């Protein structure tokens, strides 16, 4: 440690009276810029026994929808804003491109904060993704509890089993909104969650239809059965057509399988019945979003 002549050793930066205030100011500035929470003044991530390195409470999970998503690139950003994707911040590094100007105007109209930033900072925020000088931070989606979907005397719930394309999930939510479903339940793992792609294909209906996550879909279906719901799985092997589902007039859960594999074995075994959509044409199967729309239309006719 260096000594100042006649004044003793030079104190470390952290020992100086101004150090704590400067660190706190930097943390607040960083939080405002990135939209992420900061560790308390004078503390370091991991210094609190309840808080591990990384700044999240012990046991916190990085599940779908719990972490802000960044949409990057001029076309994706402007399309997301046009579709009403809920943004929490618009980062702009440079550019007078027409799409950038439209993005700024759309963000201003919706009171989304505009944050000017340097390209190096945007590179860091997007983890090196191609951003073309612009990025939209999407608000984390707040999932409902599966029990919250059982509203009214005859709830209609759509459960999806292993849908991995968020555009299909958005299309299913859009059909659920069109035909009066009370909500959609999705598996917590190995399935698409609510992200910007789902928001865009839902045409904004995600703002009106509740989406819940289930830790175990088969177990959740059994819980719905105990609550008085009839559970029917949409499957090509079904012996009954959707149009003949008279039981759908009461509390009802429609289960839609994944794009390629259909319903999983445990989920199919849990269903009270497997139902099918007659297809006299040459196609062997339907897109999951299309199949859900057709089935919900038939069910809405039965419930009318």
Q: What per-residue confidence (pLDDT) applies to 13? A: 53
52 φψ region: left (φ > 0), alpha (ψ -120 to 50), beta (else): beta
In what order do the strands lie in the sheet containing 230-234? Answer: 210-214, 183-187, 156-160, 252-256, 230-234, 273-276, 240-241
Nearest to 264 by CA among 272, 275, 256: 256
Q: Which two tokens stand for residue 223?
A: 């819980």
Tokens 């069910």 belong to residue: 299
CA separation for the pair 274, 231 (Å, rounded): 9
CB 209 within 8 A of CB 147: no
Q: What per-residue confidence (pLDDT) applies to 260? A: 74
Q: What per-residue confidence (pLDDT) applies to 9? A: 58
What are the angstrom distances between the C-alpha of 130 and each of 118, 123, 125, 126, 163?
Answer: 14, 8, 11, 8, 27
What are the angstrom distances between the C-alpha of 48 and each of 26, 27, 59, 199?
Answer: 20, 17, 14, 37
Nearest to 218 by CA among 258, 159, 169, 166: 159
Cβ count near 94 (within 10 Å): 14
pLDDT in tens, the chain (304 residues): 555 555 555 555 555 555 555 555 554 544 444 443 333 333 333 333 333 333 333 233 334 435 678 898 888 899 889 888 889 999 998 777 899 999 999 999 999 999 998 888 888 888 888 888 999 999 888 999 999 999 889 999 999 998 999 999 999 999 999 999 999 999 998 889 998 889 988 888 998 899 999 999 999 999 999 999 999 999 888 888 998 888 999 999 999 998 778 899 999 999 999 999 988 877 777 888 999 999 999 999 999 8
CB 220 within 8 A of CB 159: yes
The pTM is what? 0.71
CA separation for the pair 94, 68 (Å, rounded): 22
Q: What per-residue confidence (pLDDT) applies to 51? A: 33
């Amino acid at each position: 440690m260096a000594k100042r002549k006649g004044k003793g050793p030079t104190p470390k930066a952290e020992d100086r009276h101004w150090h704590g205030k400067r660190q706190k100011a930097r943390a607040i500035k960083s939080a405002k810029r990135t939209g992420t929470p900061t560790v308390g003044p004078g503390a370091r991530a991991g210094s609190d026994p309840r808080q591990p390195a990384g700044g999240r409470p012990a046991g916190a999970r990085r599940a779908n929808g719990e972490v802000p998503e960044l949409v990057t690139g001029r076309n994706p950003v402007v399309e997301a804003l046009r579709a009403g994707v809920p943004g929490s911040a618009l980062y702009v590094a440079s550019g007078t491109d027409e799409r950038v100007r439209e993005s700024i105007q759309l963000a201003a109209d919706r009171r989304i904060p505009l944050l000017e930033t340097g390209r190096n900072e945007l590179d860091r925020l997007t983890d090196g993704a191609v951003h073309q000088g612009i990025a939209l931070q999407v608000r984390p989606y707040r999932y409902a509890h599966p029990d919250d979907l059982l509203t009214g005397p005859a709830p209609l719930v759509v459960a999806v089993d292993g849908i991995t394309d968020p555009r299909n999930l958005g299309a299913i939510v859009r059909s659920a909104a069109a035909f009066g479903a009370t909500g959609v339940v999705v598996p917590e793992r190995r399935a698409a969650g609510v992200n910007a792609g789902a928001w865009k294909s839902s045409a904004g209906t995600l703002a009106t239809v509740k989406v819940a996550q289930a830790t175990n879909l088969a177990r959740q279906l059994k819980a719905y059965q105990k609550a008085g719901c009839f559970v029917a799985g949409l499957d090509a092997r079904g012996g009954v057509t959707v149009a003949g589902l008279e039981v759908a007039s009461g509390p009802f859960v429609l289960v839609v399988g994944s794009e390629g594999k259909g319903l999983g074995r445990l989920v199919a075994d849990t269903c009270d019945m497997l139902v099918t959509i007659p297809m006299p044409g040459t196609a062997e199967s339907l897109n999951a979003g299309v199949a859900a729309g057709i089935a919900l239309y038939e069910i809405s006719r039965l419930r009318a």
